[in-house]
Structure 1
Amino acid sequence: MKEKVPVDFIPETYHFVAAGDSLTQGVGDSLNKGGYLHYLEQLLGEERGIKSTEIQNFGIRGNRSSQLLTRLKTTEVKEAVQKADVVMLTIGGNDLMKVVRENFSNLEMRHFEKEKLHFEKNLRSIVEVIRQENKESIIILIGLYNPFMKWFSNVEELNLVMEDWNQTSQSVLAEHPHTYFVDIADIFKGSEENLLYTDYFHPNDRGYELMAGEVYSIIKSKVMSTLSERKYAAQKVGN
């Protein structure tokens, strides 16, 4: 039996691509350094198996799943994805906000259910488009949290909506290998610490720091071994 290659056997440079909405752009980040990506880069810098990380940020505030799908088909993003070891996504929050805005005076569960069907279809296409450009990249999707807690703290149905949409996202990811879901809902739910920006919608610095910790945990426990083995195999072939 051959032993697995240690993840820190040969420190390597890894290329990360981040795409999606305002959580990737980093709205609410007082440092204006890309929200959770700033903290994630610091954490990855402590990994002995990582010499350096290159992170390209394609987050755009307000993007819904349909708009991310279109953006992934642009030359700039396609070329970045082709070189990516890891593609990280935040998407869905604006799809939910669209439902709230369009049905604010008469908001019902059926409205979210209808929109979820569009989100599911778009998310499936998003993963497929990434796979068309890069069959080997690791795909990490950061889940949704309830951003309406300050406004509708007594509406438990909204937490159920978030759980339902997150379960749908996990079902879509399960259709493809090397995909991982990062659950961040519990970070924000019922936290005694203020984790939201002054708009009560986006994370603040501390919120982004905790998000990064959850993403890093997945990368460290489930992704690094795969990346290291691939780099090691590629070097053996090259030699």
Structure 2
Amino acid sequence: MKKWIWLTLILFALCTLAAGGWYYYPQFKIDRLKAQNAAATESAGTNSRSADVSYIQHLKSLPAKEIHHLALGDSVIQGRGSNQGGFIKMANSNLAVLTSKKVQLDNQGISGATSRDLLDYISSPGMSDRIKSADIITINIGGNDLVKLALKEGPVQALQDYQNVKSAYEENLNKIFSLIRKENPDAILVYNELYNAVDSGESFYPATKKLLNDWNLIAYETTAKYKPSVVIPSSEVLKPENRKEWIYDSIHPNDKGHELIAEQMIKTLKAPYKKNKRHCPSRGQCLFIFIQRA
């Protein structure tokens, strides 16, 4: 993303930075949930008597010989910036090894897609069967919602539209997950959090961090409502201070960046999932879930 786009976003973001709570609250909530989940993961790993199983073990235990992996979202899902098919393909190969099964990948990523575009796309004819047949569905969406906001004419207009765009993103994301759950109550939903592609040395970096935390908090809270689901904490490995090592262009990861996301995805799917008492699938086994964010 070009610097001027970020600068447009920052101008209106800084207008409301006077309230410290407004700035720090999303990061506080994210950090608290990550700490809770890290403690749960550590506890399960050190308790030999634990009955918890991981998402990967769950996939491995499915009766079918093949696992169907549906990928939805934007150019990051497509694999832009990678010569190896992106993090989706990399993680898919690892899943095949870890589950000892063939993992069929159906990559439906669309460059430039916003949350509204994705909602329209999964509502289109032909997507229902894809969603129903999936055992795991990976989603990356939301970054282009911010980009299109930045392209509004001037910071004043952007400031006026920010809350509307933010509310629309939250509404679209809920509808996306709701529609997927209506079609497929069992598939593991994997959401890849947005990362900050701005160099940490830039003066406007703190404001971009605030904007992305707003978007990520919406994603985390939404994902948690549609279990079984996990969140890939990609921002923990795609660090702005090391961006030259993982960046391809102004925003997309290179092969190294995609590899780091893929490793985080596998790490996340190795975490234990807990029983969801509110839902038992037709297979006769209750689903277990753990919202992994660390």
Give your verdict on TM over 0.5: yes
Alpha-carbon distance in 1 for matches of 2:146, 2:53: 43
Partner SS for 1:45: helix
Question: How do residues 1-239 of structure 1 correspond to structure 2 at under 5 angstroms?
Answer: 7=57, 12-31=65-84, 33=85, 35-47=86-98, 49-103=99-153, 111-147=161-197, 149-150=198-199, 153-155=202-204, 156-192=206-242, 193-197=244-248, 199-222=249-272
Q: Contact 1:13–1:50 (CA<8 Å) still a contact in 2?
A: no
After superposition, give the CA deviation of every residue in 1:45-81 in whole Å (9 maximum; x if it has no partner).
331x332111100000000000000110123322111
Identical counterparts, % of pairs: 26
What amino acid is aligned across from residue 210 of structure 1 in structure 2? L
CA distance in 2, matches of 1:186, 1:159: 13
2:227 partner letter: P
Q: Distance in 1 between matches of 2:190 and 2:61?
A: 24
Specify the alignment match of 2:13 in structure 1: none
Provide the secondary structure at the position in 1 that maps to 2:101.
strand
Contact map agreement 2:115 2:145 (CA 8 A) in 1 = yes
Structure 2 residue runs of 5 or longer lacking an equivalent are: 1-48, 286-294
- Letter aligned with residue 167 of structure 2: L
C-alpha distance in 1, partners of 2:140/2:72?
A: 7
Q: What SS does the aligned partner of 2:195 have? A: coil
**Distance in 1 between residues matched to 2:105 and 2:154, nearest whole Å:** 38
Q: Which amino acid aligns with 1:153?
A: E
Once the two structures are TM-superposed, the CA of residue 186 in structure 1 deviates from its matched residue by 2.5
Give distance in 1, aligned partners of 2:200 and 2:160: 20
2:237 match: secondary structure: helix
Query: What is the identity, as a one-letter code, of the residue corresponding to 1:154?
Result: S
| Structure with more helix by fraction | 2
Cα shift readout 1:73-131 (whole Å, capped 9, x = no counterpart): 12332211101111110000100111112155558666543311110000000001101
Contact 1:150 1:200 in 2 (8 A): no
Aligned residue identity for 2:76 = L
Q: More deviation in 61-70 or 106-115?
A: 106-115
TM superposition score normalised by structure 1 = 0.82
Mapped partners of 1:5, 1:159: distance in 2: 34
Structure 1: runs of 5 or more not aligned: 235-239
Preserved CA contact (<8 Å) 1:112 1:161: no
CA contact (8 A) 2:234 2:261 kept: yes
2:68 and 2:135 in contact (8 A); partners too: yes
Which whole-Å CA distance do the structure 2 matches of 1:215 and 1:89 have between them?
12
Structure-2 separation of matches of 1:191 and 1:50:
37
Counterpart amino acid of 1:39? M
Per-residue CA deviations over 1:160-217 (Å, capped at 9, x if unaligned) read 11111111111112222212111212322334352111x2111111100001111111
